[in-house]
Amino acid sequence: MASTLSSLFGSQPARIAVKFVDADSREVVTTKPSDGRGAPEQQYLFSATDNVIGTVEVTVNSSKRLEHQGIKVELIGQIELLHDRSNTYEFTSLVRELEVPGELYGSKTYPFEFTNVEKQFESYDGINCRLRYFLRVTVMRQYGKVVHEENFRVHVSTNEPEANNTIKMEVGIEDCLHIEFEYNKSKFHLQDAVLGKIFFLLVRIKIKHMEIAIIKRESTGTGANTFNETETVAKFEIMDGAPVRGESIPIRMFLGGHDALTPTFRNVNNKFSVKYFLNLVLIDEEDRRYFKQQEVTLFRK
């Protein structure tokens, strides 16, 4: 946030604060890294087309003067692979020079503007990777430098897909079980509801209950260095008790209450992908599990 300091007085010769020009009206979101490697952080939210405009305030420690080799602000879009922390990948990097080399006393404020910046990817905090946008302010000095990074969030909206076919599948065990199920569509926005129906055509095993789960699969790296992480984002029980032949069970699961859901990401900058699956699970009285999985696409409206 704008009040974040690059350092406390005494440990650095200056502190840096960034403030966005529309901070009072801009939406703020709380990020919760799913990997558990960081504390929740509040960040200002930008769309893919928003300009990034604001001010940088540099305050010199006490009454001293600060000699510097120039001051700059950079807008950076970066992908970090958490299993390879030595490498980061910048897909956006823009620089604005704020001050030529000289001396600073007291406090000075510099305006900056990044307009018409293409922010093509959405911010993402995953298990093995993170995609983030931030402003990096650097006061360059002959010996050491003062640096402050200000994270901000980007959401990328897309249009409703023109083609959105229903999903129809079957689950079967020869002479024991035959189920048909369908979902009303295959592409869902993040506030959508999954609607569907399950038809029991043959039931000769004692089913205890049935549930539907949303499975998230994150893939990073390539070839032999590919890392896959799978987690259950949401689970919803749709039946408790034994069904009979000819019975049908409705499905209605709302997506809006699950903060861990993100849009589907397909090969972002050749670094990572995130896919989602609807997993239908039947559990019999002996706790045997029967399931059928179907990939779906999630998007942000």
234, containing H or E segment: strand 227-240
Nearest CA-CA partner of 255 in 212, 207, 203, 284: 212
Exposure string for 133-169, b = 16+ CB within 10 A, e = fewer = bbbbbbbebeeeebebbbbbbbbeeeeeeeeeeebee
Give how far Cα 98 sits from Cα of 102, 155, 168, 191, 257, Å: 12, 28, 59, 42, 43
List of residues 6+ apart from 53 with CB closer than 8 A: 20, 21, 22, 111, 112, 113, 114, 115
Structural contact between residues 230 and 277, judged by C-beta atoms closer than 8 angstroms: no
Secondary structure (DSSP) of 154-212: EE---PPPS----EEEEEEETTTEEEEEEES-SEEETT-EEEEEEEEEEE-S-EEEEEE
Determine the length of the chain: 301
Q: pLDDT truncated to tens, each residue of the chain (301 aa)?
A: 543 333 344 468 999 999 999 999 999 999 876 556 667 889 999 999 999 999 999 999 877 889 999 999 999 999 999 877 777 999 999 999 999 999 999 999 999 999 999 899 999 999 999 999 999 999 999 888 999 999 999 999 999 899 999 999 887 777 788 889 899 999 999 999 999 998 888 888 888 888 999 999 999 987 788 899 999 999 988 877 777 788 888 999 999 988 889 999 999 999 999 999 999 888 888 888 888 899 999 999 9
Number of alpha carbons in the 13 Å side-chain half-sphere of residue 294:
19
pLDDT at 9: 42
Question: Rounded to whole angstroms, how far apart are CA atoms 97 and 23?
Answer: 22
The pTM of the full predicted model, rounded to 2 decimals, is: 0.88
Q: Residue 127 gets which letter from DSSP?
A: S
- Measured in whole angstroms, how far is the alpha carbon of residue 270 from the centre of its chain? 17
